[in-house]
């Protein structure tokens, strides 16, 4: 029996991870879960999966959850960052699914790495902000990082075909989001509601807006650089609106492998949870003849500047990717609150980056200080 912790069990990845567990309940059990505000769903998850530990970020929500559980419930309820770290370090858990969204995922992920846990990485911020610092910790503590994100899972699977990792380039596919093919004039007037309509994937609000600005692809470029130890010049982003090819690798002999599948996140989640084994499931089979046509185009880097900012951030190095990430996190929140426009997201991100002098990352504190600096700096540009 395998035991796992799911940090962020009420979110899109978290609920799908639980669905994977549901399908393999004879092989995998949930030892710890965590959530933030969706107390009702946490209550249901506790009753169904009977974990040892459940962390609720907010203290009051934790009390509220306790009140609504049957008296005999054995699950221990903890709260706050301390509780989240306890779930990440939980002794029984061999795999930690880091499905919390945002910078909040950094500390618990580092804690799990230091305990030598296998990380099923779904929190983008970990590698975007921590980069080589996290990768070095993962090596030092023998804590493998298995990507959950569909693109990185695809690349990871393609790389398994070549032990020497003789890579020419990585082909990172992007759906293009809801505004593919649109120009700046059009984007000036788009609303929050428009941005939240993703053509292929159903996801949380933050990542859906990031898909619309192409920042999501930018963050994935940064992640791929660190996760696979390749140069940014070796990453080619291509727009592939059908989201069937999840990414690929061209090797030095110009042979290219790609991983295909229907856009169902349970496939990469299941792969990460059972790696290196393949497990059966009852998901829908991919029919290429039903789909008929797969198309590809170059991304419009001028209109969707967030993607080019990601390459710029990698070039600048040090804390710059963390600053871009934090600035973007703040800007997306402002956009969702209808305080700034869609195009402001990229414009403010650019201004914040221009006013930052990157520092080398030697601790989590350096990252968190860069984040704090960014929050203050974003305010100047609203």
Segment 120 to 159, residues that bind Mn ion, using CB under 5 A: 149, 151
Which position has the token pair 């120009």? 183
β-sheet bridge partners, residue 307 = none
To the nearest whole angstrom, how small is the minimum distance from the Cβ of residue 339 to Mn ion? Answer: 27
Nearer Cβ to Mn ion (87/215): 215
Contact status: 223 vs Mn ion (CB under 5 A): no
To the nearest whole angstrom, how small is the minimum distance from the Cβ of residue 230 to Mn ion? Answer: 17
To the nearest whole angstrom, how small is the minimum distance from the Cβ of residue 112 to Mn ion? Answer: 21
Q: For 36-50, b where at least 16 C-beta lie within 10 A, e where not — what string?
A: bebbebbbebbeebe
Which position has the token pair 């990871």? 156
Identify which of 251, 230, 248 has the alpha carbon closest to the alpha carbon of residue 240.
248
- The site for Mn ion, by CB under 5 A, has a size of 2
Nearer Cβ to Mn ion (148/378): 148
Segment 345 to 364, residues that bind Mn ion, using CB under 5 A: none
Nearer Cβ to Mn ion (52/151): 151
To the nearest whole angstrom, how small is the minimum distance from the Cβ of residue 103 to Mn ion? Answer: 18
Segment 150 to 209, residues that bind Mn ion, using CB under 5 A: 151
Identify which of 105, 109, 165 has the alpha carbon closest to the alpha carbon of residue 137.
109
Nearer Cβ to Mn ion (17/56): 17
Using DSSP bridges, classify how beta strands 2-7 and 28-35 pair: parallel, antiparallel or unpaired: parallel
Cα-Cα-Cα-Cα dihedral sign, residues 185, 381, 305, 130: negative
To the nearest whole angstrom, how small is the minimum distance from the Cβ of residue 149 to Mn ion? Answer: 4
Nearer Cβ to Mn ion (149/371): 149
Which of 336-341's residues contact partners 24+ apart within 8 Å by CB, and which partners? 336/192, 336/205, 336/209, 338/192, 339/382, 340/382, 341/188
Q: Is 284 exposed, middle or buried (0-12, 13-18, 19+ CB in 10 A)?
A: exposed
The residue with its CB nearest to Mn ion is: 149
To the nearest whole angstrom, how small is the minimum distance from the Cβ of residue 106 to Mn ion? Answer: 19
* Residues 6+ positions from 310 with CB-CB distance below 8 Å: 215, 217, 218, 219, 221, 222, 321, 324
To the nearest whole angstrom, how small is the minimum distance from the Cβ of residue 137 to Mn ion? Answer: 23
Nearer Cβ to Mn ion (122/334): 122
Q: What is d(CA 294, CA 118) in angstroms, rounded to the nearest whole number?
A: 35
Nearer Cβ to Mn ion (28/314): 314
Residues that bind Mn ion (CB under 5 A): 149, 151
């Amino acid at each position: 029996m395998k035991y796992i912790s799911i940090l962020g069990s009420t979110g899109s990845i978290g609920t799908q991870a639980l669905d994977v567990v549901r399908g393999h309940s004879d092989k995998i059990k949930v030892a710890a879960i965590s959530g933030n505000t969706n107390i009702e769903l946490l209550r249901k998850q506790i009753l169904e999966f009977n974990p040892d530990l459940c962390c609720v970020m907010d203290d009051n929500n934790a009390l509220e959850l306790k009140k609504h559980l049957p008296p005999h419930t054995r699950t221990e309820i903890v709260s706050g960052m301390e509780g989240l770290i306890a779930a990440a370090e939980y002794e029984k858990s061999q795999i930690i699914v880091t499905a919390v969204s945002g910078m909040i995922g950094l500390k618990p992920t580092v804690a799990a790495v230091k305990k030598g846990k296998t990380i099923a990485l779904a929190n983008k911020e970990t590698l975007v902000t921590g980069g080589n610092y996290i990768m070095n910790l993962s090596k030092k503590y023998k804590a493998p990082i298995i990507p959950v994100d569909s693109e990185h899972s695809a690349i990871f699977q393609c790389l398994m075909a070549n032990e020497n990792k003789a890579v020419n380039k990585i082909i990172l596919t992007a759906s293009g989001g809801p505004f593919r093919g649109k120009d700046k004039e059009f984007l000036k007037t788009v609303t929050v509601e428009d941005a939240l309509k993703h053509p292929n994937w159903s996801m949380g609000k933050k990542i859906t807006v990031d898909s619309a600005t192409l920042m999501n692809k930018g963050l994935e470029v940064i992640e791929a650089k660190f996760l696979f130890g390749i140069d940014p010049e070796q990453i080619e982003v291509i727009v592939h609106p059908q989201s069937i090819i999840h990414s690929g690798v061209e090797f030095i002999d110009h042979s290219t492998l790609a991983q295909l599948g229907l856009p169902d996140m349970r496939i990469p989640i299941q792969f990460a949870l059972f790696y290196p084994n393949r497990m059966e499931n009852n998901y829908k089979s991919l029919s290429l003849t039903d789909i008929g046509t797969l198309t590809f185009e170059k991304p419009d880097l001028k209109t969707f500047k967030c993607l080019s900012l990601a390459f710029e951030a990698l070039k600048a190095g040090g804390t710059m990717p963390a600053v871009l990430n934090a600035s973007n996190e703040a800007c997306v929140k402002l956009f969702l609150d209808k305080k700034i426009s869609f195009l402001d997201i990229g414009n403010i991100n650019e201004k914040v980056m221009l006013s930052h002098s990157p520092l080398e990352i030697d601790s989590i504190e350096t990252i968190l200080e860069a984040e704090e600096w960014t929050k203050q700096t974003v305010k100047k540009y609203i």
